[in-house]
Chain A
Amino acid sequence: MSTDKAVNGQPKYINPYLGGVLLGLLILATVFVTGRGIGASGAIKSAVVTTSNTVAPSATQSNAYMGKFVSDDHSPMYTWLVFESLGVLLGGLLSGLIFGRVGKFRTDNGPQITSKKRWILAIIGGALFGLGSQFGRGCTSGAALSGTATFALGGVIVMFGIFGTGYIIAYFFRKLWI
């Protein structure tokens, strides 16, 4: 089924609480150095603005939303979150190499659905997440985690929004996962 190397049937993941403490300390360090938390969805937004600006510059600049992120002196890709997300890719690769999880292309899917169906659902889910992250001013890492850690009201709202909805609708989507 899976190409992940496993020890006694369990994959080699670090203890979740250790991961949590490290992540918490990372947020602390990030706030200490940069004055703001971590994020992820902002990088995709930069990518959207960049491609749109390359394909149709005038339409992009006149777009009320994307126009805000276009500037003359540098590419929209030249932002903090893009570099950070690049780092996330590298860090994920590094961890995957160390723990032996980097492999050929494969798909995680629940036992009751096919890989192809999983891909379509992933695209739909991603599109929803992308849409929601614009309304929520950030995703799980940017708004829910970093926001709540700095006691921002918005972070708490997004956190309860994501996880609350997840638990309410989980039953209806159980065939996807179990």
Chain B
Amino acid sequence: MGPLIPNGIIGEGWDFVIAILIGIAFGFILEASGFSSSRNLAGVFYGYNFVVLRVFFTALIVAMVGLMYFDYFGWLDLSKIFILPTYLGPMIVGGIIMGFGFIIGGYCPGTSFTGIAIGKLDALFFTVGLYLGIMGFSLAFPLFEGFYNSGSMGNITLTELTGIPAPYFAMAFTVVALAAFWGTMFIEKRVRKNMKQYKF
């Protein structure tokens, strides 16, 4: 049955309407969970607020396990969904650069949009920075075009790489995530006891 648009069940014309609706739901969930505050987001790295870890990994395991069931019941053709292509070197470097960006800037792109929506100036400046960063990348593209396209492994999944069926990965991620939820609950309590000045 699914995915609906690639299979032609929903016409292409609905594409942008659906995009806005999905965006609204995405923005609402991010803001309602507290992702519109950079201090909440950065807290995951200092142990005083693990909301990022909780929301991120809960979403991850729900989506992973859900996909397995959708596939099993025949609702979704997993061979038709988009698999992010892997570029080994550029993705490692990109991830590291984004890690720096996250700590220094305090947001990531999606959350900065919700920050702007409720009037956070730092979110606005972060978005300006994003714009400048991508502009800089585009202008300087000839310099690292070779590296950008290096290490291509195609649209490869964990299952194709290792030969281990996807449910085992879903299970592993779930166990690790649940253990992390319980562990961070105690860490957070401890760190917050020593932190009187933290206000949201």
Contacts and interface: CB of A to CB of B under 8 A. Distances in A.
Per the CB under 8 Å rule, do A and B touch in the complex? yes
Interface of A: 1-2, 4, 6, 9-11, 13-14, 16-17, 19-38, 40-41, 43-45, 47-49, 52, 63-66, 80-81, 83-96, 98-99, 101-111, 115, 118-143, 145-170, 173-174, 176-178
Among B21, B30, B110, which residue has the most Cβ atoms of chain A within 10 A? B110
Most buried by B among A37, A141, A151, A173: A151
Contacts of A47: 131
Contact of A20 (B62, B101, B200): B62
B118 A161 contact: no
Contact of B46 (A37, A125, A178): A178
A84 to B, nearest CB: 4
Interface in B69-93: 70, 75-76, 80-88, 90-93
Given A94-B27, A123-B132, A132-B101, A33 B18 contact: yes
A33 B4 contact: yes
Given A94-B27, A96-B31, A135-B148, A28 B62 contact: yes
Contacts of B145: 64-65
Contacts, number: 534
Contacts of B59: 20-21, 23-24, 26-27, 145, 149
B178 to A, nearest CB: 11
Nearest to A119: B125
A151 to B, nearest CB: 4
Given A66-B138, A119-B121, A149-B67, A136 B95 contact: yes
Contacts of B158: 151-153, 156
A104 to B, nearest CB: 6
Question: Majority SS of interface residues in chain B?
Answer: helix
Secondary structure of the A contact surface, majority rule = helix
A87 B125 contact: no
Q: Give the 5 A-B residue pairs with the shortest CB-CB distance, closest first.
A: A161-B95, A125-B105, A87-B23, A126-B129, A20-B58
Contacts of A81: 19
Contact of A128 (B25, B100, B135): B100
B46 A174 contact: yes
Nearest to B89: A135
A59 B103 CA distance: 34
9 contacts: A24-B63, A65-B137, A87-B24, A90-B20, A127-B133, A130-B129, A140-B110, A141-B109, A156-B158
Given A24-B60, A150-B84, A83 B20 contact: yes
Nearest to B100: A128
Interface of B: 2-6, 10, 15-16, 18-34, 36-39, 42-46, 48, 50-51, 54-64, 66-67, 70, 75-76, 80-88, 90-123, 125-139, 141-142, 145, 148, 153, 155-159, 161, 166, 169, 173, 181, 195, 197-200
A129 B36 contact: no
A129 B108 contact: yes
B24 A91 contact: yes
B29 A23 contact: yes
Contact of A127 (B2, B3, B116, B132): B132
Contacts of B37: 4, 108
A150 to B, nearest CB: 6
Contact of B137 (A23, A110, A131, A170): A131
